[in-house]
Amino acid sequence: MTDLYRVLPEEVDKLVTSMEQPRYRADQLLHMLYNEFPKDISSMRQLPAEMRNALSTAGYTIGSADEVHRVVSEDGQTTKLLLKLGDGTLIETVLMQYRKNKGRPRSTVCVSTQVGCQMGCTFCATGQMGFERNLKAEEIVAQVLHFASVLRERGEHVTNLVFMGMGEPLANYTETIRAVKLLTNARAFGLGQRHITISTVGVMKEIDRLADEDLQIGLAISLHAPNDELRRKLVPTAGPHSVGDLISATRSYFKKTGRRVTLEYALINGVNDSPEIAAELATLLKGNGAHVNLIPVNPTAGGFQRPRWKRITEFERILRESDVNCTVRVEKGSEISAACGQLRTDTAKNL
């Protein structure tokens, strides 16, 4: 069985030709998939019955993500969904909206690429739930299309996409990149590449591989510490020289793609938020050109706490005074466990 949401447009062309259907049927099929969100092949009435029957007989299906549970933040701008995939697997995905004074909001979907995660970051709920399996490209696409359907009912649409949900995207490299190509192809979902960011804890060989993909997508690297000893305490899978390797990777990625890398730094009270550590980080990054995204850690089962606001702004000041470009992330949805590092599905049985 092959999910049609896995098939790239150029592969759809070959499929239609092999069925001895006219070329325009490929565009019809793609339009229905990515604009009408059909639940099964039989509902695609614009296609002739002969073609629908041929698709079904050849083993093609239309997968989807069924909504099991929905929770919305107090301000109504963050929505977290628990979705069930075709084999019963549960995943979480999040919609974050940023309202403007006029016009439609910026609507960013945060997608998952794995069920759980193998990286084991000590402050991340997903990392602490363990690893179940990689998601397929069509299962990643299904998350975006589900929210696209929700937004269409409001007269809105998906504007941005971040691969920052459950899992390590670059540990599921092939499926992640296939999903990106499906979601950015003008004949499929058609989202601009520059509106997509992939976040990684630092899978070195895949960062280099991504730089060679000729994609204009953003890259965010989770650094979290200015030295290897501290980073290994937070990211147990980090290599012995991971900090230096990641800094080199930011330079290499920028040189190859022209895209500035974002370095994500989760600020954890009493762990990596001291002025001394800020100064060490500033020395490490001065002149690097990367942008640092300071993320006050969100509450998780690990018991870590975010620093007081005064300590956060002091950390930011030290970086800025060393000409390190940085901002403090405005978190959305932490009260519904939908913010960075909070996604986890092994509590679903309590719903």
Sign of CA dihedral 181, 185, 190, 196: positive
For the annotated catalytic residues, the residue numbers are 92, 340
Cα distance between residue 30 and residue 170, in whole Å: 27
Residue 207 burial by CB count (10 A; 0-12/13-18/19+): exposed, middle or buried? buried
Q: Which two tokens stand for residue 284?
A: 């490490």
Helix and strand element counts for the chain (H, E): 11, 14
DSSP string, 263-312: EEEEE-TTTS-SHHHHHHHHHHHTT--PEEEEEEPPP-TT---PPPHHHH
Question: Which letter, b or e, does each residue of 6-15 get, where b requires 16 or more Cβ atoms within 10 Å of its Cβ?
Answer: bbbbeebbeb
116 φ/ψ angles, rounded to the nearest 5 degrees: 80, -165
* 3-class DSSP assignment, residue 35: helix
Which residue do the tokens 């000409």 mark? 323
Largest CA distance in the chain: 70
Q: Kindly report the CA angle at 208 between 216 and 126, in degrees rounded to 5?
A: 85
Please name the helix (run of DSSP H) or strand (run of DSSP E) that holds residue 255, with its range, or none.
helix 242-257
* 3-class DSSP assignment, residue 335: helix
Smallest Cα–Cα separation from 302: which of 341, 330, 267, 346? Answer: 341
